[in-house]
Amino acid sequence: MTVKENMANRINLKQLGELLADLGIINKTQLQHALEVQKDKGGLIGQVLVDLGYVTEEAIAQAITAQYGFPYLPLESYEIDPEIVKIIPKNVAIQYCLIPVDKIGTNLTIAMANPLNSQAVEDIALLSGLCVQIFVSTATDIKKAVEKYYK
């Protein structure tokens, strides 16, 4: 199954901000404010919402897991093989807030803060030449793992 087919199977993929608003985790005013801040300062919408104090990283991860069925992976208790980390360059891991965690055959498992970012998933598949399997983790856990494994 290709990345696009895998993503297409997840019916009604919404942008992260829309999902959080639809689930009542944030309101439309908060989302609009966060989008304006993101436009000015850049960054990922989830991180902007967290920085503004509108939502916790855990709430974002739980919402994505509940809505789309992506499994949650708490990275702090997970040991990653340093050889796996080499599959994805550090700058790409930082750009998309993700980290490769395992490889079995032609399947690469990644943990990412926003698995709704289909462009990131496509880029990882093209870059690695592997089928990408997605887990959700918090941005903080991913950043800590990136610091730990990309030395």
Superfamily of domain 71-149: Type II secretion system, protein E, N-terminal domain (3.30.300.160)
Cα 46 → chain centroid: 9
Summarize pLDDT for 55-70 with one digit per residue, the tens.
999 898 888 888 888 9
What pLDDT, on the 0 to 100 scale, is given for residue 64? 85
Summarize pLDDT for 4-37 with one digit per residue, the tens.
444 444 444 568 888 899 889 999 999 999 999 9
Q: How does DSSP classify residue 10?
A: S
Measured CA to CA in angstroms, residue 55 lies from 38, 45, 58, 89, 136 at distances of: 15, 11, 8, 30, 16
Q: How does DSSP classify residue 50?
A: H
Q: Which residues contact 140 (CB under 8 A, 6 or more apart)?
A: 57
Kindly report the pTM of this predicted structure: 0.76
Summarize pLDDT for 103-117 with one digit per residue, the tens.
999 999 999 998 888
What pLDDT, on the 0 to 100 scale, is given for residue 11? 41
Q: Give the full edge-to-edge strand order of the sheet including 107-112.
A: 98-104, 107-112, 131-136
